[in-house]
């Protein structure tokens, strides 16, 4: 099994110093930079848009792992691709044609990711695993950082790990929400190979980032 990738979510960073924060987590050992995009419609919060992705792009060479919590999403895919996203993930619940949107992301030359909210069954990935480079399992309801890990997501991660391995797909399995030193090893044991962490990365300020990230590797 591959070593786990850690993707700090900049949702918990100091937005007034975003370039500095991105450089700090890069230096502290982040594998990917996770960018949470919220539209105030699909989720009850508004965060950032493609302009911010473009602004942070020069501050790191690490992949930008862009998580779109937007519906409808299609009109924005090109803007995030041009802004410098490396992976673009969309929610299966955002509709209307997830398969088409995933194909579009790959046509734009980006890695395509599909996201499941806590209530969405693993089965929603049937007929989609061929079209994606990453599956993102949300272990909290999307919209906010700092929420408690939802236990049933472990069963879902196990089920998806089996689907990926059985089908021989080359797909990353990432978990997002409530990841800390206690839940990270459980998500890894269930089959995750990438972890998003907002609160657990940024707590304690810049001097703590490296230790915070290291503590998540299990
Ligand atoms: C929630 C976001 C998450 C969130 C994770 O909608 O997708 O990436 O920021 O935050 P923590 O790690 O604080 O649960
Ligand atoms: Zn996220």
The 3-state DSSP class for residue 72 equals coil
Euclidean distance between CA atoms 8 and 32, whole angstroms: 7
Q: How remote is the C-alpha of 119 from its chain's centroid?
A: 17
ipTM of the complex: 0.98
- What's 154's domain CATH number? 3.20.20.70
36 catalytically annotated: yes
> Is any ligand 1 atom within 6 A of the Cβ of residue 8?
no
Q: How far is CA 151 from CA 104, 138, 148, 185, in A?
A: 33, 11, 9, 13
Q: Active-site residue among 65, 133, 176, 193? A: 176
**Spacing, Cα 130 to ligand 2 middle (Å):** 22
Residues of the chain with pLDDT under 70: 1-2
Q: Is 39 among the catalytic positions?
A: no
Tell me which ligand sits closest to the C-alpha of residue 43. 1
Q: For the chain, what's the residue count?
A: 218
Query: What H or E segment, with its residue span, contains residue 167?
Result: helix 152-167
Judge if the upstream peptide bond of residue 197 is cis by omega within 30 degrees of 0: no
- Our count of domains for the chain comes to 1
The radius of gyration computed from the CA coordinates of the chain, to the nearest angstrom, equals 16
DSSP E strand stretches across 15-97: 33-38, 64-69, 87-91
State the catalytic residue, choosing from 31, 36, 172, 193: 36
Atom of ligand 1 nearest to the CA of 43: 6
| pTM greater than 0.90 (yes/no) | yes
Distance CA 133, CA 153 (A): 20
Strands 64-69 and 87-91, sheet pairing: parallel
22: exposed, middle or buried (Cβ count in 10 Å: 0-12, 13-18, 19+): buried
Domain that holds residue 76: 5-215
* pLDDT for the residue numbered 218: 74
């Amino acid at each position: 099994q591959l070593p786990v990738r850690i993707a700090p979510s900049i949702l918990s960073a100091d937005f007034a110093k975003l370039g500095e924060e991105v450089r700090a987590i890069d230096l502290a050992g982040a594998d990917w930079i996770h960018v949470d995009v919220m539209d105030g419609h699909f989720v009850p919060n508004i965060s950032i848009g493609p302009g911010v992705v473009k602004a942070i792009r020069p501050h790191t060479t690490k992949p930008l792992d862009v998580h779109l919590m937007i519906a409808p999403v299609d009109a924005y895919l090109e803007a995030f691709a041009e802004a410098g996203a490396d992976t673009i993930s969309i929610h299966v619940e955002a509709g209307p044609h997830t398969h088409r949107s995933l194909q579009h992301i790959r046509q734009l030359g980006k890695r395509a990711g599909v996201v499941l909210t806590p209530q969405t069954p693993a089965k929603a990935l049937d007929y989609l695993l061929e079209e994606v480079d990453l599956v993102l399992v949300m272990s909290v309801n999307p919209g906010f950082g700092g929420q408690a890990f939802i236990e049933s997501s472990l069963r879902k991660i196990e089920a998806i790990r089996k689907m990926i391995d059985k089908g021989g797909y080359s797909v990353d399995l990432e978990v997002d929400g409530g990841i800390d030193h206690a839940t990270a090893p459980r998500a890894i044991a269930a089959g995750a190979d990438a972890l998003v962490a907002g609160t657990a990365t940024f707590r304690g300020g810049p001097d703590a980032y490296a230790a915070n990230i290291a503590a998540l590797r299990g």
